[in-house]
């Protein structure tokens, strides 16, 4: 426990001030680094907070008994001792923005206590993509179990938590709602603050969990199924967007191409295409790198999908009827060549835009040391290797989370919740009379 000992006189606190009041009135003057989060946790909580509220309660008990009344200095010391350190925080993170129902419990120092995930891969295969209504139902079926598993595996209960973090966007609103309802329900019953998390910010910030030295400012490329973003992260919550996609994201192009190639997309289109591409010749087909004439940092992947479709059709590959597992050797090789050529060009497009973004970012903030690459597509080994070259060429360090933290997960939500909770960016618990099915926007 982090102890701050200050003489009571320094705060000018009159002896005998009720500790609850003292804690709240002294906090701003006595302990400037104490965040709103600590202040929240120091208020009498609706439920005991296992780590620090035991101290808080002993402070209350001793202050109310005249024979054992502590001195003002002791009171301050104890009040300070009761302030949770960052390590004491326990955050539950809930993610339901797309096709995975995920939850995790993460400690304030970044230790991952648990993570649970229910994937909708069967639905993906059946519907050929994410069907919002089906996805919502699947989330609704899975959410209680997934959250319970995360709590059980972390060996904690809801009353041990400091707060609940939940993805509030971007994503499919029907799906987001399932996670938000669950988070609000827990927060209401256990009197916990809520942190609303931006999904793409979480993809970026989870890099700070895996690399504790990663400080602002840094450049981030976020590549997922729905987004392609190049951002200069100046500080927590301060991002300058350098580029975005003008149509499809790279993950969407991987997914569509994988389906057209007749791949087994049970584990996702991107991973399936990456695997097949290893068998192909990346220079066999000359797809055009998108947007080379546009000297900016935006992306376009819609224009790369059509040539892939045409390449399949012109080679008379019956990919609709014959899955890759039943393809002849020659057919398989052709498909692998298309996959490898697609991947080379798709990633060259990333490289072009990242090189320019690095130049722009370094002009704006010459102190940048790190280039973060995250989001589902960043779990691709070819993508990581090529972007590592860009980083090295420009004297930057590539920071990319392990693949399991690149694709959607609850850890990134919990961690981003912690990042915002510490400086006091959270919502108070919902009122006790809030209906469980309240419409949230």
Joined tokens for residue 313 = 């059709």
135 close to 123: Cβ distance less than 8 angstroms:
yes
The entry of ligand KG4, Zn ion, none that residue 262 binds, CB within 5 to 8 Å by partner kind = none
- Tell me which stretch binds ligand KG4 (CB under 6 A): 24-32, 135-143, 144-152, 375-383: 375-383
> Cβ closer to ligand KG4: 77 or 341?
341
Considering beta carbons, is residue 160 or 255 the nearer one to ligand KG4? Answer: 255
Report how many residues bind Zn ion under the rule CB under 5 A. Answer: 2
> What, of ligand KG4, Zn ion, none, does residue 270 touch, CB below 5 to 8 Å by kind?
ligand KG4
The piece of 86-94, 247-255, 352-360, 425-433 that touches ligand KG4 (CB under 6 A) is 247-255
Binding-site member from 108, 270, 282, 410 for ligand KG4 (CB under 6 A): 270
CB distance 166 to 365 below 8 Å: no
Please report whether residue 282 would count as binding ligand KG4 according to CB under 6 A.
no
Tell me the per-residue interface mask from 88 to 117 with ligand KG4, x by CB under 6 A, - otherwise. ----------x-------------------
Which of the ranges 133-141, 188-196, 237-245, 371-379 carries the binding residues for ligand KG4, by CB under 6 A?
A: 371-379
Binding ligand KG4 (rule: CB under 6 A), the pick from 19, 179, 268, 282 is 268
158 counts as binding Zn ion under rule CB under 5 A: no
Q: Are strands 194-198 and 163-169 parallel, antiparallel or unpaired?
A: parallel
Residue 254 interaction partner, one of ligand KG4, Zn ion, none, beta carbon < 5-8 Å per kind = ligand KG4
370 φ, ψ (degrees, to nearest 5):
-125, 145
7 alpha carbon, distance to own chain's centre = 41
CB of 224 to ligand KG4, least distance (A): 3
First to last CA, the chain: 39
Residues 6+ apart with CB under 8 A from 155: 113
Distance between CA atoms of residues 225 and 227, nearest Å:
6
Task: Dihedral sign for Cα 415, 418, 420, 425, please.
Answer: positive
Residue from 160, 274, 331, 352 touching ligand KG4 (CB under 6 A): that is 274
Q: Specify the residue, 271 or 429, whose C-beta has the smaller distance to ligand KG4.
A: 271
Query: Are the CB atoms for 117 and 164 separated by under 8 Å?
Result: no
> Which segment (27-35, 231-239, 251-259, 283-291) binds ligand KG4 by CB under 6 A?
251-259
Stretch that binds ligand KG4, among 32-40, 147-155, 237-245, 266-274 (CB under 6 A): 266-274
- CA 147/CA 93 separation, integer angstroms: 9
CB of 171 to Zn ion, least distance (A): 8
Segment (H or E) for 370:
strand 370-374
For CA atoms 358, 359, 365, 370, give the dihedral sign: positive
* Least CB distance to ligand KG4 at residue 383 (A): 7
Cα–Cα distance measured from residue 92 to residue 410, given in angstroms and rounded to the nearest whole number: 8
Question: Which lies closer to ligand KG4 via its Cβ, residue 71 or residue 266?
Answer: 266
Q: Does 255 bind ligand KG4 (CB under 6 A)?
A: yes
For residue 408, state whether it binds ligand KG4 (rule: CB under 6 A): yes
Q: Does position 407 bind ligand KG4 by CB under 6 A?
A: yes
Q: What DSSP assignment string belongs to 90-157?
A: EEEEEE-SSSEEEEEEEETTS-EEEEEEEE-HHHHHHHSS--HHHHHHHHHHHHHHHHHHHHHHHT--
Query: Interface with ligand KG4 includes 257 (CB under 6 A)?
Result: no
The neighbouring-strand residues paired with 92 are: 105, 164
Among 13, 167, 224, 374, binds Zn ion (CB under 5 A): 224
- Residue 337 or 380 having the CB closest to ligand KG4: 380
- Minimal distance, residue 121 CB to Zn ion, in Å: 15
Among 99, 274, 408, 419, interactor with Zn ion by CB under 5 A: 408
Contacts of 311 by beta carbon, 8 Å cutoff, 6+ apart? 285, 287, 338, 341
Q: Is 258 in contact with 272 (CB distance < 8 Å)?
A: yes
**Beta-carbon contacts of residue 66 (< 8 Å; ≥ 6 apart):** none
Rounded-to-integer distance, Cα 194 and Cα 200, Å: 18
**By CB under 6 A, is residue 376 in contact with ligand KG4?**
yes
Q: Which of residues 379-398 bind ligand KG4 (CB under 6 A)?
A: 379-380
CB within 8 Å of 312: residues ≥ 6 apart:
260, 261, 319, 335, 338
List interacting residues with Zn ion (CB under 5 A).
Answer: 224, 408
List interacting residues with ligand KG4 (CB under 6 A).
Answer: 98, 224-226, 251, 254-255, 268-271, 274, 375-377, 379-380, 407-408
């Amino acid at each position: 426990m982090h102890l701050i000992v200050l003489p009571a006189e320094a705060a000018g606190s009159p002896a005998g001030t009720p500790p609850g009041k003292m804690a709240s009135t002294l906090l701003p003057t006595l302990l400037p680094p104490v965040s709103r989060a600590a202040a929240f946790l120091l208020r009498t909580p609706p439920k005991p907070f296992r780590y620090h509220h035991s101290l808080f309660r002993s402070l209350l008990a001793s202050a109310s008994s005249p024979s054992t009344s502590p001195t003002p200095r002791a009171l301050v010391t104890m009040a300070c001792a009761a302030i949770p350190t960052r390590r004491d925080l326990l955050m539950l993170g809930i993610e339901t923005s797309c096709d995975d129902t995920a939850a995790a419990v993460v400690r304030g120092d970044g230790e991952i206590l648990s993570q649970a995930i229910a994937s909708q891969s069967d639905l993906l295969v059946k519907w050929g993509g994410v069907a919002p209504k089906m996805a919502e139902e699947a989330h609704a079926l899975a959410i209680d179990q997934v959250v319970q598993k995360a709590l059980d595996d972390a060996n904690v209960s809801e009353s041990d938590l400091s707060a609940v973090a939940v993805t509030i966007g971007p994503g499919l609103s029907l799906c987001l709602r399932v996670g938000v309802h669950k988070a609000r329900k827990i927060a209401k019953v256990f009197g916990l603050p809520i942190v609303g998390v931006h999904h793409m910010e979480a993809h970026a910030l989870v890099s700070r969990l895996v690399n504790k030295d990663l400080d602002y400012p840094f450049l981030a490329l976020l590549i997922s199924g729905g987004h392609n973003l190049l951002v200069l992260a100046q500080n927590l919550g301060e991002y300058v967007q350098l580029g975005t996609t003008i149509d499809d994201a790279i993950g969407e192009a991987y997914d569509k191409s994988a389906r057209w190639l007749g791949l087994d997309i049970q584990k996702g289109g991107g991973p399936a295409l990456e695997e097949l591409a290893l068998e192909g010749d990346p220079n066999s087909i000359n797809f055009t790198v998108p947007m080379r004439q546009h000297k900016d940092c935006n992306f376009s992947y819609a224009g790369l999908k059509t040539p892939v479709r045409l390449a399949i059709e012109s080679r008379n590959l019956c990919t609709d009827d014959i899955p890759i597992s039943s393809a002849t050797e020659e057919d398989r090789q052709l498909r692998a060549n298309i996959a490898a050529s697609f991947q080379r060009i798709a990633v060259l497009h990333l490289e072009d835009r990242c090189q320019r973004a690095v130049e722009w970012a370094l002009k704006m903030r010459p102190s940048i040391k790190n280039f973060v690459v995250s989001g589902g597509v960043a779990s691709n080994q070819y993508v990581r290797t090529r972007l590592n070259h860009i980083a090295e060429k420009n004297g930057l360090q590539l920071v990319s989370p392990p693949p399991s933290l690149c694709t959607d997960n609850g850890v990134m939500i919990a961690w981003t919740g912690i990042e915002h909770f510490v400086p006091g960016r959270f919502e108070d618990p919902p009122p006790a009379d809030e209906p469980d099915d309240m419409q949230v926007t």
